[in-house]
């Protein structure tokens, strides 16, 4: 396997920052976007659930529709190369077909499959209390999408592509716009977050970070 130096990775983290001003004349290639999306697909998730879908919105009319309700992304939609809306699975309960398929992908069947579902039940009902209602289940699934989001942005930075994570939008309105466009079934999926990709149009001031002693604690 090709190795990447620790300094290369640190350099990418220093390079990566929230890019709010893109160069509209530069586009990320399809090959590079496929690579970024593959990083999302291959990301880890709780109990291997992979409760995500990635919707790449390039349609200008849809972007225009998002602008009035997307205050955190409106200024980027004209010039960013790609807009990715990350969806999270709804109602991913231990007894759902979705969670059963997670175990089937692992090749489990019969008693082993049922034992696995029993573990999921304890995890969701007792340990994390995720199964209390539809909102807690969605929040759990949405948390998993942020792992994919981070991996996509870091992987983009490693090859010199800028990005910006977006939470600043009216969630109900954006869900309605995209669902009415036929991009997903709102009974099964909901918008967790968005992210833009492209190339910065100007230098970005480096964000001040907390010192390591305020962030890291070793317990030995």
Contacting residues for 4 by C-beta, under 8 A, at least 6 apart:
158
Q: Above 70 in pLDDT, residue 1?
A: no
Q: Above 70 in pLDDT, residue 86?
A: yes
pLDDT in tens, 91-112: 999 999 999 999 999 999 999 9
Q: What percent of the chain has pLDDT over 90?
A: 95
CB 83 within 8 A of CB 166: no
Comparing CA positions, the residue from 120, 52, 134, 49 lying closest to residue 91 is 134
Per-residue pLDDT at 205: 87
Rounded CA-CA distance 210/158 in Å is 23
pLDDT in tens, 172-184: 999 999 999 999 9
Burial of 122 by CB count in 10 Å (0-12 exposed, 13-18 middle, 19+ buried)?
Answer: exposed
pLDDT class for 208, splitting at 50, 70, 90?
Answer: confident
Q: What is the pTM assigned to this prediction?
A: 0.95
Q: Assign 3-state DSSP to the chain and report helix, strand, coil percentages, each to 5.
A: 50, 15, 35
């Amino acid at each position: 396997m090709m190795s990447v130096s620790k300094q290369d990775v640190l350099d990418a983290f220093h390079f990566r920052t929230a890019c709010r001003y893109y160069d509209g004349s530069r586009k990320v290639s399809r090959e590079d976007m496929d690579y970024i999306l593959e990083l999302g697909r291959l990301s880890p998730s709780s109990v291997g659930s992979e409760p995500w879908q990635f919707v790449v919105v390039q349609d200008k009319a849809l972007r225009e529709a998002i602008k009035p309700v997307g205050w955190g992304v409106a200024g980027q939609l004209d010039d960013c190369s790609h807009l990715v809306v990350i969806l999270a699975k709804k109602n991913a309960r231990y007894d759902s077909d979705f969670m059963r398929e997670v175990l089937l992908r692992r090749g489990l069947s019969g008693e082993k499959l049922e034992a696995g579902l029993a573990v999921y039940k304890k995890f969701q009902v007792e340990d994390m209390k995720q199964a209390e209602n539809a909102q807690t289940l969605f929040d759990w699934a949405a948390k998993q999408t942020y792992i994919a989001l981070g991996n996509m942005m870091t992987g983009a930075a490693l090859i010199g592509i800028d990005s910006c994570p977006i939470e600043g939008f009216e969630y109900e309105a954006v869900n309605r716009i995209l669902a009415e466009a036929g991009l997903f079934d709102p009974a099964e999926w909901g918008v967790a977050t968005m992210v833009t990709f492209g190339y910065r149009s100007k230098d970005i001031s480096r964000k001040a970070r907390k010192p390591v002693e305020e962030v890291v604690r070793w317990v030995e």
